[in-house]
Chain A
Amino acid sequence: MKKFFALLLVAVMAISLVACVGGEEEKGSVYWLNFKPESDEALKEIAAMYTEETGVDVQIVTAASGTYNETLTAEMDKTKVPTIFVVGNAAAVEQWGEYCYDLTDTAVAKELSDPSYQLKDADGKLCSIGYCYECYGIIVNTKLLKAAGYEADYIKNFATLKEVAEDVHARAAELGFDAFSAADMDDSSSWRFTGHLANLEYYYESVDDPAAWTSCPAEIKGTYMDNYKNLYDLMAVNSATPRGELATGGHDAANQFKTEKALFYANGNWEWSGLAEAGMKAEDLTMIPYYCGVEGEEKAGLNCGTENYWAVNAEASEADIKATLDFMYWLVTDAEASEKAVATFGVMPYTNAAESTNPFLAQANAYAAAGNYTMPWVTNFQPNVDAYRAALVAALNDYNADPTDANWDKVEAAFVGGWATQYEAANQ
């Protein structure tokens, strides 16, 4: 027995020594550190397609929801670095810019159909290019809206939204559904309110003072905090889920909406595939803007923008960079591949990519075509985004537990004061 163990030990050591020597690759390969967990499966299928076609190895690794920065930090230190990673906003360009390969004049960048989806650093280097864009707002089940006695186009501003929400909430028992799905504040859901909903405040501020918002401002004014409060209160109160339970979360707002227990669901176009899978039909769904009581909001559109920007790692080997650029070009031009990608991303802003089939993006375009103003994602400027949002969640938790003015002051402190504090921390 002891002899056996001794042999086993020797074998283990020998294997570990051999493993250290490792194999080397001649052909370039692609390693995509993916930002969108919901697209993981589709991307792996696409990767397999490419490998089968060309023999080039494509590895897809997906960071768990909310941990992209952590994962990227760790992966960047390894010998085999990600060749494609996400640099989604100005702050990320500042942080990771030096790792970005200059995409100017690459074939894939030339395919971009909309030049606004480009992020450049201070020297004008093209650091990253958008691979999809998204829109968010309030998803409405028009079938339920009709059942409650309202036409789909009845909601035109905050007053009408409030009227419908309060009426449906009051008659929830009789109708069999409530107005809003749960506004949970746990990690899987709080970004809908600390990120998305907050956008309306930043957006209207930026309209008042566009010069201050060309880059991340050092501080914000909070001029539209009352409008943020209007809509947040409306969502938290007119719901089947009691306000006091929102802090813990776990009410699965998506499921409340899919099972037709809720009329409204604040979220984005990426929810479409999940809703379709649950058997919902495009003609029964629409997305309306964040109506919050701002003057002229009848002409509002959806919140459109993206944090999904591809960057190519300049630290990767030349062969890997070439393989990666070839892969990206293939992905945005190959009919079959881009169709698959568009199915998971919603849309890809590239000349030869497949057409979008997402009804909410079509809705966003319809608003724009009708002359309504699109609200871009000013939220992307949030400084130290994780810490900033965490404080806002904590303040909103206190406010939900006890909705007093004193507690709303805390929300304002986290929202407005927190911006300046985090800006300073991020730029020291």
Chain B
Amino acid sequence: MKKKKKKAYSGAAVNSKLLRRPIRRQGWFFLLPMVAAFCIGFVWPFLHGMFLSFCKFKTTSNWQWVGFSNYVKAFADESFRYSFGFTALFAVVSVILINVLAFVVAYALTQGIKGTNIFRTVFFMPNLIGGIVLGYIWSMIFDGILGAYGTSILLNKTWGFWGLIILMCWQQVGYMMIIYVAGLQAVPEDMIEAAKIDGANAFQTLFKITIPNVMPSITICTFLSLTNGFKLFDQNLALTGGLPYIINPDGSTVHTTEMLALNIYNTFYGQASTSRGVAQAKAVMFFILVACIGLVQLKSTRNKEVQQ
């Protein structure tokens, strides 16, 4: 006969009504810090920014209403249209490369290789370094190599583009890998076993069983990498800063490796204070664009997810 050990009474259990009811009643109080932070740090600046896109302003508290003219100017800006094209191209290429590489690495690291955890840690680590630092480090690496051939990442648009892609892959593959690893580990063993018994080869198993089952991971990873691609700023600023420029005969310039966020930043600060409203208008359009693309992408990949 075993003696049941009785736990010492330690007040109401966490899920008891005695504790739950007052917490529930004071729910708003517990929500307050987050809601306040969200309003102060996001909702208010966002609305204020929308408002300022219709104004001419020097500082955000000193504005003059000008209506839609900022939007007209933003649309007419050749450099903005160019950086839109450049950003779109960058986003597409980086989404494909990052996700394919991350999936391959995740797949390899779920096959029970020795030292899996070390590899996962190592692959994840670049993600812990800030974008500016990464940009400068990689510019040294690239120029160390390109310098031997008498060129620099700042002199050639193609180098600049692929430099950014390599940098982004290096940084993001590890992060996406972690998400894919979680997805891969959740694929039911019995399904794979059943496929094997039915005579499916490795490829068939991968494409017919594994990938459909990790669709939720693919959804989130493509969403993250796509929006990251569009929003890229720090790395862009530190690695190329938009260089090289095309110098038109009239002295106007097109910054050949300048992405949307950097274009907005340069518009805001580069041209005295006359174009701050225009930069703000660009930023609003930028938000709408990224939000739309993100939503469309989410909807389309969601449709391909399977229920387990």
Give the B-binding residues of A (Cβ under 8 A).
Answer: 2, 9, 12-13, 16, 69-70, 73, 76-77, 91, 95-96, 244-245, 247-248, 250, 383-384, 386-387, 390-391, 393-395, 397-398, 401, 410, 413-422, 425-428
Contact = CB atoms under 8 A, between A and B. Distances in A.
A425 B140 CA distance: 34
9 contacts: A2-B14, A95-B272, A383-B272, A384-B270, A394-B243, A417-B249, A422-B251, A426-B271, A428-B274
A384 B154 CA distance: 22
B250 A417 contact: yes
Nearest to B269: A70
B275 interface: yes
B67 to A, nearest CB: 16
Contacts of A427: 274
B32 interface: yes
Given A16-B33, A425-B274, A394 B244 contact: yes
Contact of B251 (A2, A398, A414): A414
Given A247-B152, A397-B154, A417 B251 contact: yes
Contacts of A9: 30, 33
B60 A386 contact: no
Contacts of A418: 247, 251-253
Given A384-B271, A394-B247, A397-B244, A77 B59 contact: yes
A77 B58 CA distance: 10
A428 B271 CA distance: 11
A421 B252 contact: yes
B127 interface: no
Contacts, number: 113
A223 to B, nearest CB: 16
B164 to A, nearest CB: 16
B303 interface: no
B100 interface: no
Given A77-B61, A247-B155, A394 B253 contact: yes
Interface string B127-142: 0000000000001100
B59 A413 contact: no
Given A394-B253, A397-B154, A427-B274, A413 B248 contact: yes
A413 B249 contact: yes
A248 B269 contact: no
B143 interface: yes
Nearest to A418: B251
A13 B32 contact: yes
B61 A395 contact: no
A92 B140 CA distance: 36
Contacts of B151: 244, 401
Given A2-B14, A401-B155, 12 more contacts: A76-B59, A250-B140, A384-B270, A387-B270, A390-B270, A395-B247, A398-B244, A398-B247, A410-B247, A420-B251, A422-B251, A425-B275
Given A422-B271, A425-B271, A387 B266 contact: yes
B150 interface: yes
Given A398-B244, A401-B155, A391 B251 contact: yes
Given A9-B30, A13-B32, A401-B155, A414 B247 contact: yes
Nearest to A75: B59
A420 B14 contact: no
A168 to B, nearest CB: 24
Nearest to B60: A77
Contacts of B140: 250
Contacts of A96: 58
B274 A69 contact: no
B258 to A, nearest CB: 11
B154 A248 contact: yes
Contacts of B139: 248
B151, B247, B252: which has the most chain A beta carbons within 10 Å? B247
* Max count, chain B CB within 10 A of own CB: residue among A12, A96, A417: A417
Contacts of B242: 390
B251 A416 contact: yes
